[in-house]
Structure 1
């Protein structure tokens, strides 16, 4: 099911900065530039006996970054499928939501994620379904999203898939910005003012659970260039897919409303 909702229905009020207009041609042009550099490789699922290389963040338990988890061919297929669905044909559209049984092109990625042995604790990893809600966002250069903790209507265990362009996502202790929303006031950060940047590149998959999901807020600065250490990232059009699972009571309420 596809649904467009106001931004405040997704993360809380005022999260997106400078959403602006976007034409689907921009996505297609960006995808074509990546496809020209693609190396055609098989599209296997990850073996359940293997653990892809991951980056851990000692200050943020439960935050794992799987670099280049998706091959270039897999990324191209995802972008092609998003374009073919027509989510962003209207210039003003920059976000699409799916509930329940997710589209086949997203389920292909879910299959990959389910086969990563330690991406989530067992109680999350073995739930059925692993995800039943997705958000597809398109970011123009300069777009950002304010720091936030995903709403409590969603269960623990969230994944972000990054496509087309790199950017820096910043994590800060959640209580600094949204203590009034009822999330934990206790951060696992040793420094309460700590800011941890995470560079997301095309094909990367970021997983959040436990403290990473509840005690830390994440956001993307509204800028066209990210400076992280000695690295300078010039943003292009970026697509992200966020995967979550709604709490059972939310599913029941939604069915009743329908």
Structure 2
């Protein structure tokens, strides 16, 4: 009787999850075994990884493909035949140990897989200009180079993710550049001279062009332990010539190359030489995801490769002058030249722009905005809960106060520039007062001038605030103000919108996933842009005041699409609540308000923090379309 009840309960869970999957991605489950399996109750949103799925499944049968959908609590596997799929199903269905929280997972067969990515990403051609030369060195030559660079002398860097050593010139992290006027005393070891004639010979054999300069003059040595990586990046155009060489020693790793929505993984073998030139050097980012296992192709499909310690030697030649490449999107020389053509925003104009397109807007939309902001972000709540009992915490830009009760053992105070949001915060306090004595405390002020004495708080957060400040100087001033408030040893957390809303393994952020029409292919991005521009233009004519004299002409961003520029106006559509005001179509009237945003490039927030004295970067990460940093005030 108990067994029958358990079986029926499990079956009901399966049917519910199968219905959700059918609604989400339009594929049907199958009563009969097929080559396609779904893990119904574990996916990216529960903390499951592709490496974990694969390492468990291949214990029982080969796997051809794993599909992990962003923000979903399910995932898919494809086998080359039904028998292999049945083996995996029989060994994993109803068993514990795979899901992150240790619960039981259950599986179902499906008639097909969701169409979300290419069948086998490993078979795609490499980016233009990317060449991998395997077995470039012998083991004895590898040992000679390791001895020459003296890896035991490589110290832990401020990056916290890996150990780094520079030869020839110091690479300046934060600025992503070098100072050619300050060469290092330690030059590239002479033992590396064996590489260049060998490399030119191998390139000539393959019929590939060689470079038009002599030898590199800058070397960066990175030591990666298992689980460490490096964020996606492009080596600064104006800093280095083309090409760039990367020699892998001691271990293998998978490096990801990305350009827009394109992704190409490449397995870097021990003692292989990687040559990045042309588009692969200038127009594709490259990075290594921090993890202990890599998914790699095998003779039977996919398998996992445990990471080992790896040492990379990246050789570059300094550029003396601006870059003249034909890839302007990521070219700092072109971007800086374009920026120099833009009018300088004075502090007065910036304040006027913020008043018109930030402060006034939030006062108008405060009730509606508050309705959409009710659940604390998990990693922000986790940061607040990390403070001990009796700590004083300050939320600068607290909005409706949703973070003020994350740590009931601390005194948490909020402040915000918008009187409308402060009122929403106080209304929230009235509701909470019926069930709790720990009521939110909040007051009105500007994030640039917080009326709290210096070194008075243990912790501070600024969530989605400083991206509303209209100049780099004002954004930096806001960070300095946070640092002023912290006690020695105190910590602060900042969240800002990211320009790249796909930085998490090229998966769409929650912001982009809200574009339901685009996700269902009902319309194109360009059509949405045209409709949004037409609507905003009409409302500007009817209700918006003329632009502030001296302020730049800012583009109006199309909501829930990728950002094309860093400084934009983002619409907020305020829907009316009055039934009496509904039109003939039974829909409430709406008004569109434009909010100023400066969306941040990768590394920009860290570079600003490097300009603030007496603080140290503790952690930087990307969280659902936001760049985030945690920093600490140094102990005196």
TM-score (norm 1): 0.61
1:198 to 2:266 alignment: yes
- CA shift for structure 1 position 143: 0.4
**Alpha-carbon distance in structure 2 between the residues aligned to 1:77 and 1:231:** 33
Contact 1:102 1:134 in 2 (8 A): yes
- 1:82 deviates by 2.2
Among residues 206, 214, 219, which one is paired with 2:282 in the alignment? Answer: 214
Work out the CA distance in 2 between the residues paired with 1:57 and 1:97. 34
Tell me, yes or no, if the aligned pair for 2:148 and 2:189 is still in contact at 8 Å: no
More contact order relative to length (CA 8 Å, sep ≥ 6): 1
Q: How many residues align?
A: 173
State the 1:80 CA deviation.
2.0
User: Deviation at 1:120?
Assistant: 9.5
Question: Partners of 2:315 and 2:128 in 1: how far apart?
Answer: 19
Deviation at 1:220, TM superposition (A): 0.3
Question: Secondary structure of the residue that 1:212 maps to in structure 2?
Answer: helix
Shift of 1:133: 0.9
Residue of structure 2 aligned with 1:158, choices 236, 240, 244: 244
Residue 65 of structure 1 corresponds to which residue in structure 2?
A: 132
Q: 1:148 to 1:113 in 2, by over 3 A?
A: same
Aligned equivalent of 2:224: 139
Structure 1 match to 2:620: none
**Aligned residue number for residue 87 of structure 1:** 153
Instruction: State the SS of the aligned residue for 1:68.
Output: coil
The 1:161–1:68 alpha-carbon spacing in structure 2 relative to 1, beyond 3 Å, is same
Aligned equivalents of 2:321 and 2:262: distance in 1? Answer: 35
- Residue number among 316, 319, 324 corresponding to 1:247 in the alignment: 319
Tell me what 2:166 maps to.
97
Cα shift readout 1:160-202 (whole Å, capped 9, x = no counterpart): 10011111001010xx4xxxxxxxxxxxxxxxx2211100111
The structure with the larger Rg is 2
Q: What secondary structure sits across from 1:126 in the alignment?
A: coil
**Are the counterparts in 2 of residues 133 and 245 from structure 1 also a CA contact under 8 Å?**
yes
CA separation of 1:117 and 1:59: change in aligned 2, threshold 3 A: closer
Give the alignment's Cα RMSD to 1 decimal: 2.5
Contact 1:57 1:63 in 2 (8 A): no
Aligned counterpart, 2:19? none
**What is the CA–CA distance in structure 2 between the aligned matches of 1:196 and 1:213, rounded to whole Å?**
14
State how far apart, in whole Å, the 2-side matches of 1:120 and 1:208 are: 16
Deviations 1:56-76 (A, max 9, x none): 973511000101111111111
Shift, 1:97, TM fit: 1.0
Distance 1:63 1:57, change over 3 A: farther
- Superposed CA deviations along residues 29-80 of structure 1, whole A, max 9, x for unmatched, are xxxxxxxxxxxxxxxxxxxxxxxxxxx9735110001011111111111112
SS in 1 for 2:144: helix
Whole-angstrom CA distance in 2 between matches of 1:158 and 1:120: 18
Quote the Cα distance in structure 1 between the aligned partners of 2:126 and 2:273: 19
Aligned partner of 2:198 in structure 1 is: 112
Q: CA deviation at 1:131?
A: 1.2
Give the SS at the match of 2:294: strand
Between the aligned partners of 1:121 and 1:233, the Cα distance in structure 2 is: 31
Q: Larger % of helix: which?
A: 2
